Structure 1
């Protein structure tokens, strides 16, 4: 966002924006943690383990209640990369996909290193968070795509056959760039998704998700935001599976009471477009965030994926204060999620006061180095 764009923000607008940023990031993490406990179970197995209503509360996974997966880890590094892109803009080096890719490489280090490398002064604070140094079921395509320093592009994408939701689940932060136009948000999300997931269905699902979050962060309705995403998809080659999935989700809203069977009609959630459709449906029909998230995780598919995407949508729509406090208080890494959410909101609304041709804030540049 440019300095000119930030100058028109009033205090109430800044507070609303911060609440939606917090909501999107915390909501996604809560949905991720809720679904993680039943990620490998079918609906029949979920009911056998948790009763006829299925999963209704956090259960232990990865050794504790409220544990998050790679979906949340990667989302945090997406935010880190976007803040770095804004900071590096002062140097004339303006290419956000490169900064996001560098952030993803820092995440990749957390998947094989024992802990933070204190010798790397350009890592910033997020890569020094020791709780992130654990492998939490990352998509294989993410590990392969970030296994070397070569950045995948739309012209030469990594893993061109990968169409799972590994890129989708990390793409909510692109939508929080509310000063950007929707087509630019979509393009950035698509380009960054292609760094690990080169199938059009995967990267276009990520782009569509970002556009929906973008509309919500701007105060638009969920239905209207989905319609805007459909409009953005229309001119892109290979969009039809994603377009069809989103239209199927909108149609399912009018077909009766929400149920696991209704969700199953949208797909298993293994493909990115199915996971996006399930999340959009659950966000549209959920009576509140708790109800929407419970719907999103009680099905045969990857519950942590659909929970994370649904949580990001509902959090961006309603803001942080609508999140279930009982789940929020047990969330792994909550202080770090809040910290980076507030840093993102501050950078996007007050960046020129933190760094620029005439202003240098050493504390900020140590958190988000230009290197």
Structure 2
């Protein structure tokens, strides 16, 4: 890509990751609350970071952002590893999720892991991690023949949103075909979620993000993602949910009552549909906060729907469209922006960081290839 296109893409990478974190942090404190109670307290929707109780100050991110950051790290490591002639191996991302599992089971860094991200003490806070993710990753870690090994599909029938809420970074990858990104995000979600809807909604999100990074409008991105989606067996629930989101965005009021017609967001296709509906309802760069508030103000899984909506809007509009007061205050901003910038460096100038420069560079110590 030329210099101008690269700068635009870098802004979308930052925007997608920061937008997801902001949506996550807006929704986290009101997850599990009744939508009517949320509206009574916040008539215009949740538009600022609020206190979530002990250990949950305003701006706190949840497992959604934690796992998204490990997705980014895993993709960088997969790229570094490709120097070995093995190609770009998506299973490397599952090892990143295994490192995330450490953050949920240990009090702090053990010193037994390589790389830098798992050394960030603040990531070791448990923020209502999904039981499906914890269980599936723990089972894979056991390495017994009766359970999935690393790189294999989880043995469950879960279609919870724990897969789709973490895969947006796949869509940010440059130079990869849309169909490959779709399938790779499906695989990455499948490490923990076995149901087709839990996996295919993830592929659809990656495809949407990819198309937005190619300067598509949101409607164009949805058309192209849907065209990929319908080629896969078991797409019905996700296709129907996306179609309903688009229909409601065109015909119904943009409010919590309409959002809840799409479900609660606890399962993957509903979480994606709610995020898409909110983004379509408020598609302009100066409406990002309106869209995020709509995405989190309902009775369901508010942090996940907010995170996915933020991923979409950040990729659509770039970093500068995000509300500055929320960017400034979101937990982990420095780590999020560092990972975003490292991602951009790896996928534009990786050969100057490793590759021909040898196997023992500082970059390889920061991002070992596994």
Please give the TM-score of this superposition, normalised by the length of structure 1: 0.93
Instruction: State the alpha-carbon separation in 1 of the partners of residues 357 and 115 from structure 2.
Output: 22
CA deviations 1:308-360 (Å, max 9, x no partner) are: 00000000000001110111111100000000000001111111111113555
* TM superposition shift of 1:30: 0.2
1:76 has 2:75 as partner? no
Give the conservation status (yes or no) of the 8 Å contact 2:79–2:88.
Answer: no
* TM superposition shift of 1:142: 0.4
The DSSP-based 3-state class of the residue aligned with 2:30 is coil
Give the conservation status (yes or no) of the 8 Å contact 1:77–1:103.
Answer: yes
Q: How many residues of Structure 1 are paired with residues of Structure 2 in the alignment?
A: 360
Give the conservation status (yes or no) of the 8 Å contact 2:74–2:93.
Answer: yes
Aligned match of 1:351 = 350
Aligned match of 2:203 = 207
Aligned match of 1:28 = 20
Aligned match of 1:257 = 253
Aligned match of 1:3 = none
Instruction: State the alpha-carbon separation in 1 of the partners of residues 224 and 45 from structure 2.
Output: 34
* TM superposition shift of 1:84: 0.3
Aligned match of 1:143 = 134
Aligned match of 1:171 = 167
Of 163, 171, 192, 1:196 maps to 192
Give the conservation status (yes or no) of the 8 Å contact 2:151–2:191.
Answer: no
Instruction: State the alpha-carbon separation in 2 of the partners of residues 153 and 166 from structure 1.
Output: 19
Instruction: State the alpha-carbon separation in 2 of the partners of residues 75 and 358 from structure 1.
Output: 29
Gaps of 5+ in 1: 1-8
1:299-318 aligned at under 5 Å gives the runs 299-318=298-317
Aligned match of 2:93 = 100
Give the direction of change, closer, same or farther, for the CA distance of 1:15–1:360 in structure 2 (3 Å limit). Answer: farther
Instruction: From the two aligned structures, give the one with the greater helix fraction.
Output: 2
Give the conservation status (yes or no) of the 8 Å contact 2:351–2:357.
Answer: no
Give the direction of change, closer, same or farther, for the CA distance of 1:92–1:156 in structure 2 (3 Å limit). Answer: closer
Gaps of 5+ in 2: none
1:130 has 2:99 as partner? no
Give the conservation status (yes or no) of the 8 Å contact 2:76–2:346.
Answer: yes
CA deviations 1:168-212 (Å, max 9, x no partner) are: 000100000121111000110001111000000100000101100
Please give the TM-score of this superposition, normalised by the length of structure 2: 0.93
Q: Structure 1 stretch 91-100 or stretch 265-274: which is displaced more? A: 91-100
List, as ranges, runs of 4+ consecutive aligned residues in structure 1 with deviation greater than 6 Å: none
Aligned match of 1:325 = 324
Instruction: State the alpha-carbon separation in 2 of the partners of residues 264 and 236 from structure 1.
Output: 27
CA deviations 1:12-65 (Å, max 9, x no partner) are: 1221111000000000000000000101111112133x2433422110124311
Give the conservation status (yes or no) of the 8 Å contact 1:31–1:310.
Answer: yes
